[in-house]
Amino acid sequence: MENESFEIECDELLKLQEYEKIIVLCDNILKSDSQNSIVLINKGYALAFLEQFESAITCYDEILKRDLNNSNALHAKSLALNRLGKYEHAIECSDNILRLDNGNIHALNNKGFALGRMGRYDEAIECCNIVLTTKSDDKDTLELIKWINEESNKIKN
Whole-model pTM over 0.85: yes
For 36-83, write each residue's pLDDT tens digit: 999 999 999 999 999 999 999 999 999 999 999 999 999 999 999 999
Model confidence at 5, in pLDDT bands (50, 70, 90)?
confident
Q: How high does pLDDT run on average in the chain?
A: 93
**Domain 1-67 = CATH 2.60.40:** no
- CA dist., res. 79 & res. 123, Å (int): 18
- CA dist., res. 99 & res. 36, Å (int): 25
End-to-end CA, the chain: 58
CATH topology (fold) of 88-157: 1.25.40
Give span(s): CATH 1.25.40.10, the chain. 88-157
